[in-house]
Amino acid sequence: MAGTNIILQPLTLSDADAFFGLYFPTDGEPDTNESPEVFTRRIMSLCERIFTIRTIERPDDIIGDCALHHWDTETKSVEIGGSLKPEYWGRGIMASAFGMLSEIAVKELRVASLVAKTETGNVKALAFAQKFGFVEAGVKDGQVILHKKLRQ
């Protein structure tokens, strides 16, 4: 799936090393005992849909990920989340990815709303979520919970 400046590709085990590197950079010892493959398998098992984010200019390089997880069929909601390498922040890449992921949530999962969570001190993530149309629904266990209605 391609947007104006990015490509979303389903995460596969062949992406394990690059995906692991998004969360555990190589400049130190990772704070996990999991191998890249075990970590990737575990995250894939927790998600309804998970994609790598790549630029159109460099489609072989994984610069981030975005996912739909914790799908609640009763409330017709799903949690959305993602990560992006810092050098790509501020370019509209995550907004494009979330836009594409929102379409998938509606078309494939038939959800009515998205849920996003972030740490209370993560000012950049909160600003992004609000800019993307999320509204704060509360705080629980140090995390801000945000909601965005997609349809009735």
Which DSSP string do the residues of 78-118 spell out, in sequence order? EEEEEEE-GGGTTSSHHHHHHHHHHHHHHHHH--SEEEEEE
Q: What is the CA radius of gyration of the chain?
A: 15
Burial of 139 (0-12, 13-18, 19+ CB in 10 A): exposed
What percent of the chain shows pLDDT beyond 70?
Answer: 93
Where does residue 112 rank: exposed (0-12), middle (13-18), buried (19+ CB within 10 A)? Answer: middle
Kindly list the domain boundaries of the chain, sorted by start residue. 6-114
Lowest-pLDDT range of 1-5, 80-84, 130-134: 1-5
Task: Give me the pLDDT at residue 113, please.
Answer: 96
For domain 6-114, give the CATH superfamily.
Gcn5-related N-acetyltransferase (GNAT) (3.40.630.30)
Predicted local confidence at residue 70, as pLDDT: 95
pLDDT digits (tens, 9 = 90+) for 88-124: 988 999 999 999 999 999 999 999 999 999 999 999 8
